[in-house]
Amino acid sequence: MKNIPIDIGNYIAGFADGEGSFNVSVKKRLDYKESWKLTASFNISQKDRVILAWIKHVLGCGTLRERKDGIVYYEVTNITSLHDVIIPFFKVYGFRSAYKKHNFRIFSEIVDIMRRGEHSTKEGFQKILELREKINPGIGRKRKYTLLNVITSEESSETTRKTLLD
């Protein structure tokens, strides 16, 4: 991680404490060997593109996307960038809110598992899904694929494969 002045680091950390989020998405993919794709992401959404472009510049990674309604997203999904830049940055500058500290701790563990390639194993994938259930507790938005959905889908796919092979 590059040397960021303390006032700038504290500003970005405070901004992310209020406007940022850590997420792990699970998408059904027929073109993947295991049929599920995991994506870890850190993002900040805001209408002010200028501040997000500045944060992207300071951190030196990520992308900016704009929704049709004018909301701009600064997003980092690259595991190496998450592991080598985002996590060390927030370990130095930290968060004030217990909620964000909680999510960051779990997210960091998930990124470590993915960085080691363990998400490609059944055990590692399931561990990530279990940890994911603990991120953003109490948020009103329902997950499209919960741990139970994925496990049930995997078990029924395995049953189908075994039946076809017998």
The pLDDT value given to residue 157: 44
The pLDDT value given to residue 156: 44
The pLDDT value given to residue 138: 60
CB half-sphere exposure, 2, CA atoms < 13 A:
10
Q: Where are the alpha helices (DSSP H) in 49-146?
A: 49-59, 79-81, 87-93, 98-115, 122-132
Ranges in the chain, pLDDT < 70? 1-2, 31-34, 137-166
The CATH code belonging to domain 6-165 is 3.10.28.10
- Write down the pTM of the prediction: 0.81
Cβ–Cβ under 8 Å, residues 9 and 89: yes
Six-digit token pair at 152?
Answer: 């049930």
Domain-by-domain residue ranges, the chain?
Answer: 6-165
